[in-house]
């Protein structure tokens, strides 16, 4: 309890602490001429009240040790405040509780805002709470509306980019544009899923002619639709035995799809890694497939008006038709490159680890060229020759964890490569040819890798004419040639990249 006392005469008592300030707005100099102000902390008896003294104010104080408390501490405790509470039983018949006003009169709370009286609003924390609540209630819709606006602007920009590209080159692309409803009808409501990749799901469908098709439904693009533009711009106008055929496409707002010829034998990935396949490919057929893939990449690099860099050659992206003819697919990362110019920008490297050339992620290597595809093909070739992943942490022998190093040592020491029981001498030559060609392709320095026309010659020629290259070692001090490419610290796809693709049609 804190009691403020006003006295006419000075008081000398430990129960009375002089305030040293004024009450009722009077200055201390005037107080000394009129009456003196004291404060008592802890409570006092009626007999302790001195003559000519009167009680001015009383208030509760949240303090237990109040003996010998100086006025400065008393002021601090008073400024800190106190909590006033009472039991609900004091509210009597009030249904929602009650409060006491300045005149100590009880008022019931009626479950509405009517209980907020001027007395209650004197509490600043209540006002702050009300303002914060109002800010949240009325501000949230505006924040949500702003986020929706930004999201729509970003996606509309992507839609505009795709639509502008399609309208500009509508007469130059010999492919069919389908509506989304037609795509849905062809797939029977996306009933049969063939596979799933980094850019979306692939479903089996049927064209009006009755032939089967593979329809890739693209997912949400992080590159403003550039993956869609890349595929349409590259394989939309080229024809080659070893490149998958684009039949048509769909572009309706955020819904995009690509329609390809159906490949009944799926991907090469299933035949060289899976042990459960009923059909096992012979070494002659694997060699034939590797040569077909090499011809396809050679065509992309040299057979078009502009070089097409695939950037994602791997077994999963090599499809096989009913005759096991290989078809290069998935051009979502592909880039067009002028024959005698450098690209101004490339997207951030997004190929598959294990097949990506070192220049795609080592900043010390300055330029990216078609030799990146050569490296990826080399890794593919070695996996075909070993019928296993190049990196296998579960290999029985620790020396065989990284297949390229192990097989290099085998050939270097003139040891036979294990390709299964009952293999013929001709099959051994085929595997050794594929291994040496693959090791040539995966040299760390792009300067030391052959072009794809040389790879074709190696696979078609005699094994005796091939020389084993050094074991691939990364030397970051060597700088590769600037055949076509830009710094591997690649920027995001810019509008200039779209212009480059568009120029391929002009």
Active site residues: 312
Parallel, antiparallel or unpaired: strands 176-178 and 246-252: parallel
The two structure tokens encoding residue 301: 């690099």
The two structure tokens encoding residue 87: 């039991």
Q: Count of residues for the chain?
A: 506
What is the number of other CB atoms lying within 10 angstroms of the CB of residue 182? 17
Q: Measured between alpha carbons, how far is 259 from 203 in angstroms, rounded to an integer?
A: 10
Identify whether the C-beta of residue 74 lies closer than 8 Å to the C-beta of residue 55: no
What string of H, E and C letters represents the secondary structure of 294-335? Answer: HHHHHHHHHCCCCEEECCCCCHHHEEECCCCCEEECCCCCCE
45 is in an annotated binding site: no
What residues contact residue 482 under an 8 Å CB cut-off, 6+ apart? 342, 366, 367, 369
What residues contact residue 145 under an 8 Å CB cut-off, 6+ apart? none
Residue of 331, 356, 347 lying closest to 198 (CA atoms): 331
Residue of 9, 70, 62, 8 lying closest to 39 (CA atoms): 70
φ and ψ at residue 328, rounded to 5 degrees: -75, 130
List, as residue ranges, the binding site for ATP.
Answer: 216
List, as residue ranges, the binding site.
Answer: 216
């Amino acid at each position: 309890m804190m009691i403020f006392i006003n006295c006419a005469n000075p008081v000398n008592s430990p129960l009375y602490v002089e305030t040293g300030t004024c009450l009722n707005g009077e200055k201390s100099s005037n107080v000394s001429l009129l009456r003196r102000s004291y404060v008592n902390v802890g409570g006092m008896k009626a007999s302790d009240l001195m003559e000519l003294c009167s009680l001015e104010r009383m208030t509760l104080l949240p303090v237990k040790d109040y003996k010998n408390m100086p006025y400065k501490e008393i002021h601090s405790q008073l400024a800190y405040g106190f909590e006033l509470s009472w039991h609900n039983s004091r509210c009597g018949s009030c249904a929602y509780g009650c409060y006491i006003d300045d005149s100590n009169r009880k008022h019931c709370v009626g479950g509405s805002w009517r209980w907020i009286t001027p007395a209650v609003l004197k509490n600043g924390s209540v006002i702050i709470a009300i303002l914060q609540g109002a800010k949240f209630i009325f501000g949230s819709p505006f924040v949500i509306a702003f986020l929706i606006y930004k999201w729509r602007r970003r996606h509309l920009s992507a839609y505009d980019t795709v639509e502008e590209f399609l309208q500009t080159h509508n007469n130059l692309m010999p492919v069919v544009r389908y509506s989304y409803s037609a795509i849905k009808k062809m797939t029977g409501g996306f009933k049969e899923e063939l596979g799933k990749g980094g850019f979306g799901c692939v479903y089996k469908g049927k064209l009006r002619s009755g032939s089967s098709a593979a329809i890739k439904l693209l997912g949400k693009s992080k590159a403003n639709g550039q993956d869609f533009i890349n595929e349409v711009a590259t394989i939309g106008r080229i024809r080659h035995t070893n490149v998958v055929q684009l039949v048509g496409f769909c572009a309706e707002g955020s819904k995009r799809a690509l329609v390809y010829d159906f490949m009944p034998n799926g991907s090469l990935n299933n035949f060289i890694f899976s042990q459960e396949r009923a059909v096992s490919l012979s070494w002659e057929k694997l060699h034939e497939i590797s040569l077909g893939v090499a011809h396809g990449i050679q065509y992309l690099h040299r057979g078009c008006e502009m070089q097409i860099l695939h950037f994602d050659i791997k077994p999963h992206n090599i499809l096989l038709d009913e005759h096991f003819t290989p078809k290069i697919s998935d051009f979502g990362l592909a880039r067009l490159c002028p024959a005698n110019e450098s690209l101004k920008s490339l997207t951030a490297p997004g190929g598959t680890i294990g097949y990506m050339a070192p220049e795609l992620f080592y900043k010390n290597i300055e330029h990216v060229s078609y030799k990146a595809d050569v490296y990826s093909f080399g890794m593919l070739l070695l996996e075909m020759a070993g019928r296993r992943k190049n990196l296998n942490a579960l290999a029985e022998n620790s020396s065989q964890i990284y297949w390229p190093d192990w097989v290099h040592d085998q050939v270097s020491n003139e040891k036979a490569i294990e390709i299964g029981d009952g293999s013929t001498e001709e099959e051994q030559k085929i595997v050794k040819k594929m291994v040496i060609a693959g090791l040539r392709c995966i040299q760390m320095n792009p300067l030391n890798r052959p072009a794809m026309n040389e790879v074709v010659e190696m696979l078609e020629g005699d094994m005796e004419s091939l020389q084993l290259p050094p074991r691939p070692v990364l030397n970051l001090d060597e700088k590769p040639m600037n055949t076509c490419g830009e710094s591997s610290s690649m920027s995001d796809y810019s509008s200039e990249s779209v212009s480059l693709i568009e120029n391929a049609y002009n």
